[in-house]
Amino acid sequence: MSLVVTLGAIAAGLTAAVGFSFPSAQAAPTTPRAPRPAAARSSAAHVRSSAAHARASAAPVRSAAAAPTRSSTTRSSTASSSTARASTARSSGSTAPQGGAPALTRAEQIERCWQPPGRGVSLTFDDYGSTAQVKRIVAILDRNHVRGRFFPIGAWARANPSLVRYMEAHGHAVGNHTYDHPDLTGLSNAAVAREIAGGAQAYGSPALLRPPYGAGAFTTRIRRAAAAQGLKVCFWTVDTRDWAGASAATIVRRVLHGDATTPPARADGVVLMHMFGRHTAAALQPMIDGLRAKHLKLEHA
């Protein structure tokens, strides 16, 4: 069995474990290629998910300067893309600092989603959510004058155009997260192009692509595929792992203080969350308050 096949199988297993359950109230895409309604609540999935967490928790803490460890959902591609990232960082290097500010490597730009320095911490929300979840998140962002970045799965965005318009109408950015959320590193160039073309239309400058699971974010191939459609690749610096049902307190603690698998938010960092997270919306207000208490600026419109 080839390594690629093995990793693909692991990715498929984790995808099933994490699950993409479109709330029944939301019209789920009917295409057979859409994310699977999930077995996320099944005990078998739970066990696999817990095992993945155990592996993720066993990962060593990285230094503050290093890239964050990714969520267990991305572990299938961690080895290959960490190598790619390291090589990207080495080969792109830093240009000479100007005006005393250290230049960012390409890998750092990808992690920060190409934000200009000083724009503030970005709060990002992936995948899909119920109408209530999306509107609650938008309401909290609006109340705090914070600009969020949403990366809906294309299939969901097509089934819920009014919710995507709602995000945009409230001044939030929308990025491309592909059509049906595959690990792009396992697809042909043509299939990658189709997945990106079917993703939600990206609004915001620069227009961003967040590859599912972050897989391939630091590879030349995915960067070129994104650029061919006018997009820049966006990763994250803080992984809340809210998708696994983390409590609001845990999510907030990870963002403010980090833990064994993620560093905390720093200036111009990018926080990864998910619209469907059970406690994501509840974590939002204390998270914003806590970041501001640490004198960290948040991205605003």
CA–CA separation, 147 and 84 (whole Å): 31
Choose one: 7-15, 111-119, 121-129, 249-257; the region binding Zn ion (CB under 5 A): 121-129
Q: Which is nearer to Zn ion, 126 or 299 (CB)?
A: 126
CB 18 → Zn ion: shortest distance, Å? 9
Q: Which is nearer to Zn ion, 183 or 299 (CB)?
A: 183
| Closest to 147 (Cα-Cα) out of 165, 127, 174, 128 | 174
User: Can you name the residues that pair with 126 across neighbouring β-strands?
Assistant: 151, 274
Answer for which of 108, 111, 126, 268 binds Zn ion (CB under 5 A) is 126
* 241 φ/ψ angles, rounded to the nearest 5 degrees: 50, 35
Q: Which is nearer to Zn ion, 184 or 284 (CB)?
A: 184
Q: For the purposes of burial, counting CB atoms within 10 Å of the CB of 49, is it exposed (0-12), middle (13-18) or buried (19 or more)?
A: buried
Answer for which of 14, 73, 105, 127 binds Zn ion (CB under 5 A) is 127
Residues 112/105, Cβ–Cβ less than 8 Å? no
CA–CA separation, 15 and 4 (whole Å): 16
Q: Which is nearer to Zn ion, 31 or 94 (CB)?
A: 31
Site string for Zn ion, 67-106 (x = CB under 5 A): ----------------------------------------
By CB under 5 A, residue 239 contacts Zn ion:
no
Site string for Zn ion, 205-234 (x = CB under 5 A): -------x----------------------
- Strand pairing category for 122-127 and 148-152: parallel
Tokens of 105: 């490597």
By CB under 5 A, residue 242 contacts Zn ion:
no
Residues 106/88, Cβ–Cβ less than 8 Å? yes
Tokens of 235: 């990763």
Q: With contacts defined by CB under 5 A, how many residues of the chain interact with Zn ion?
A: 3
Contacting residues toward Zn ion, per CB under 5 A: 126-127, 212
